[in-house]
Amino acid sequence: MSQAITGQELTHAPVPSSAPPNRVTTEAPWVKWTLIGAAFLALLWVLILPLIIVLTEALKQGWSVYVEALRDPDAMSALRLTLLVAAITVPLNTVFGVAAAWLITKFQFRGKGLLVTLIDLPFAISPVVGGLMYVLVFGAQGWLGPWLDEHDIKIIFALPGIILATLFITFPFVARELIPLMEDQGHQEEEAAVTLGARGWRIFWKVTLPNIKWGLLYGIILCNARAMGEFGAVSVVSGHIRGETNTLPLHVEILYNEYQFSASFAVASLLLLLALATLVLKSWFGRKRVH
């Protein structure tokens, strides 16, 4: 005859658990520190040392030579052109990126997959090939070359060509930042706004834009950094005309090829400072986006 189970025995009886036990993967300390050291050495050789060399070479001949190199008329012209191209291309790609992300994430339509593929196209094509495409279309021997020459319109080896090439290269950045963000947010808030009587632009300004503002700023910063640092596509369409079609990266190349090393590193330090400022802003906005 089985004995009755007392309340105390029932209380202390083991309860089977359906959840698997937690398994903590542990490694020997030497493995952990070896991996950390390898990562640090890689960063040191690939990133930190080149940055230090750029700054030391820029100031190697003294502060006066550094300032003189930056105040050179060709350097100032390259800086103005770089800022002008960024000031034009970044707002245009911002408008397109927001519109494309809103269209792709909020609506269903034929050709949606094709649009996403076209947005990613600049990532898959070499910048040099991108610049060459514009030369084949707008160059003197291109499809539209005779017509442009007849109407005295200059695109290649002029500001419009540089803007077109930079637009192409920076095309995906804003859209690619916003599409995953807007997909994760869903449609609930927009649908609620429609139910309350809001329409069109009011929904965008009052509901959609506040939800994507940090991701949008993050994409704009990346787009701006790429626009200022673009070399390959701009090199093909610019013609390397000093004081007219040289951006900062192209001006650095010309100075270096002419063995003006201190001047080339001085101008390169401007791009370095812009990159560091972009990195700081990118990290700050990245944390804002997470929170």
- Read off the pLDDT of residues 181-218 as tens digits, 9 standing for 90 and up: 988 887 777 778 778 777 778 888 888 888 888 889 88
**Which range is least confidently modeled, 4-8, 21-25, 63-67, 175-179?**
4-8
pLDDT at 8 over 50: no
**Cβ-Cβ contacts under 8 Å for 137 (sequence gap 6 or more):** 143, 144
pLDDT confidence tier of residue 61, bands split at 50, 70 and 90: confident
CA 216 to chain centre: 11
pLDDT at 282 over 60: yes
Looking at residue 11, its pLDDT comes to 46
CB atoms within 10 A of CB 26: 8
**Superfamily for 63-288?**
MetI-like (1.10.3720.10)
* Structural domain boundaries in the chain: 29-59, 63-288
pLDDT at 234 over 90: yes
**CA-wise closest residue to 189 among 211, 222, 159:** 211
Mean pLDDT, the chain, whole residue set: 85
Looking at residue 92, its pLDDT comes to 96
Query: How big is the CA angle at 284 (ends 288 and 221), to the nearest 5 degrees?
Result: 100
187 touches 251 (CB < 8 A): no
- Average pLDDT in the 151-159 region? 91
271 touches 249 (CB < 8 A): yes
Share of the chain above pLDDT 70, in %: 88
In the three-class reduction of DSSP (H, G, I as helix; E, B as strand; rest coil), residue 71 is classed as: coil
Give CA separation, 268 vs 75, 221, 244, in Å: 11, 20, 19
pLDDT at 5 over 50: no
CA separation for the pair 248, 74 (Å, rounded) = 10
237 touches 161 (CB < 8 A): yes
CB atoms within 10 A of CB 79: 18
For 230, phi then psi, to 5°, come to -65, 135
pLDDT confidence tier of residue 1, bands split at 50, 70 and 90: very low
Give CA separation, 45 vs 36, 40, 51, 59, in Å: 14, 9, 10, 21
